[in-house]
């Protein structure tokens, strides 16, 4: 195995990781501020991807497609918050799980009804396609590199938003003490809608960006949602920093496991058996990582008991 291949896979892991971060950041914000577990977050990812594919198909503009993804997911998020989610804040987690599971059913079948069962395709724009040459002679797809850039930029943006803006102050205060900030005259229900829409927009963005390298289809959101849950369990609920570290760990573990385990197994097994055993174990890699974190730190790497 060459170093170049290794470096390429590390980059793939990073790219996968930052996309997971976009999902996990919204989930963990919504949990941290509103105490809500939202299974329908994957639907917002799907909505972003479909909106992007539809707009790109109609206009041919990738940038317009991204704007559409952000807008559609944020709007869907705000609407859902206003009419359903808002009734769930004071309910137990079981009710939240059921209601948001119901939302998945409605969103998934609704999308299938509108767009049909066949996957849509979203093309990488010409100005982002093709490989770039990285230092050390690594050829890497420009688009994937751009995804890493966008993900890190969003992480930085979220950091600035939360630590250096008025909205950020309110979000942090809302996570710490709901009654208090309501007593201080902050319109808490508007804050919740804004936070939810923000999380939704991030999910929609991730859906659109990933949609260009995978197909856009119903059900695409839930596997990513579950991975985002793994990220949050590893990073600790409510922590954006935990989401970032967890997402990168999961992304890199997943790609490196697939790359390294089969040859590792080949050291003491016959090659074909090693390939199957290696790839099967690699498919469990991130869950084993999660299990290890649970044994070591049940509240996640950056989790605090609330």
Exactly one of 57, 58, 95, 160 binds other proteins (CB under 8 A); which one? 95
* CA 87-42-78 angle, 5° bins: 40
254/19 Cα distance (integer angstroms): 13
Exactly one of 126, 133, 267, 295 binds other proteins (CB under 8 A); which one? 295
Per rule CB under 8 A, count of chain residues that contact other proteins? 44
Residue 132's SS3 state is strand
Nearest distance from residue 299's CB to other proteins, in Å?
7
268/43 Cα distance (integer angstroms): 43
User: According to the binding rule CB under 8 A, does residue 101 interact with other proteins?
Assistant: yes
Question: Which residues partner with 140 through β-bridges?
Answer: 132
Nearest distance from residue 39's CB to other proteins, in Å?
8
User: According to the binding rule CB under 8 A, does residue 99 interact with other proteins?
Assistant: yes
294/289 Cα distance (integer angstroms): 9
User: Which residues in 254-293 contact other proteins (CB under 8 A)?
Assistant: 276, 279-280, 282-284, 287, 290-291
User: Which residues in 202-241 contact other proteins (CB under 8 A)?
Assistant: 222-223, 226, 229-230, 232-233, 237
What is the H or E stretch that residue 155 is in? Answer: helix 142-164
Comparing CB distances to other proteins, the nearer of 156 and 284 is: 284
**Are 225 and 3 spatial neighbours (Cβ–Cβ below 8 Å)?**
no
61/67 Cα distance (integer angstroms): 10
What is the H or E stretch that residue 138 is in? Answer: strand 138-141
Exactly one of 3, 5, 59, 113 binds other proteins (CB under 8 A); which one? 113
Nearest distance from residue 226's CB to other proteins, in Å?
5
Comparing CB distances to other proteins, the nearer of 67 and 84 is: 84
**Are 220 and 208 spatial neighbours (Cβ–Cβ below 8 Å)?**
no
Exactly one of 1, 94, 133, 267 binds other proteins (CB under 8 A); which one? 94
User: According to the binding rule CB under 8 A, does residue 31 interact with other proteins?
Assistant: yes
DSSP per residue over 188-229, as a string?
Answer: HHHHHHHHHHHHHHHHHHHHHHHHTTS-B-TT-HHHHHHHHH
Exactly one of 97, 134, 138, 169 binds other proteins (CB under 8 A); which one? 97
User: According to the binding rule CB under 8 A, does residue 106 interact with other proteins?
Assistant: yes
Comparing CB distances to other proteins, the nearer of 131 and 298 is: 298
Q: Which of 184, 147, 203 is nearest to 30 (CA)?
A: 203
Question: Interface residues with other proteins (CB under 8 A)?
Answer: 31, 37, 39, 84, 87, 91, 93-95, 97-99, 101-106, 108-110, 112-113, 222-223, 226, 229-230, 232-233, 237, 276, 279-280, 282-284, 287, 290-291, 294-295, 298-299
């Amino acid at each position: 195995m060459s170093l170049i291949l290794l470096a390429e896979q590390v980059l793939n892991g990073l790219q996968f990781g930052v996309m997971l971060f976009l999902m996990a950041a919204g989930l963990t914000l919504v949990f941290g501020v509103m105490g809500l577990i939202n299974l329908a977050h994957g639907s917002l990812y799907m909505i972003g991807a479909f909106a992007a594919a539809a707009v790109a198909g109609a206009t041919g503009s990738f940038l317009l497609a991204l704007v559409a993804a952000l807008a559609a997911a944020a709007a869907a998020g705000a609407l859902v918050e206003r009419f359903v989610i808002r009734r769930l804040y004071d309910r137990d987690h079981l009710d939240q799980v059921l209601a948001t599971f119901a939302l998945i059913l409605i969103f998934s079948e609704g999308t299938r009804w509108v767009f049909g069962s066949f996957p849509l395709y979203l093309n990488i724009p010409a100005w982002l396609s093709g490989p770039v040459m990285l230092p050390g002679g690594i050829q890497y797809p420009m688009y994937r590199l751009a995804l890493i850039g966008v993900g890190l930029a969003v992480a930085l943006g979220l950091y600035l938003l939360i630590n250096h803006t008025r909205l950020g102050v309110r979000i942090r205060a809302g996570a710490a003490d709901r009654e208090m900030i309501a007593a201080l005259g902050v319109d808490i229900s508007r804050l919740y809608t804004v936070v939810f829409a923000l999380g939704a927009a991030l999910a929609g963005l991730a859906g659109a960006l990933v949609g260009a390298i995978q197909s856009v289809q119903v059900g695409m959101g839930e596997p990513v949602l579950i991975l985002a849950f793994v990220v949050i369990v590893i990073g600790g609920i409510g922590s954006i920093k935990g989401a970032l570290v967890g997402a990168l760990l999961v992304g890199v573990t997943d790609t490196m496991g697939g790359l390294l385990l089969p040859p590792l197994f080949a050291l003491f097994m016959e090659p074909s058996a090693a390939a199957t055993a290696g790839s099967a174990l690699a498919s469990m890699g991130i869950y084993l990582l999660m299990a290890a974190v649970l044994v070591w730190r049940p509240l996640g790497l950056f989790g605090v008991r609330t």
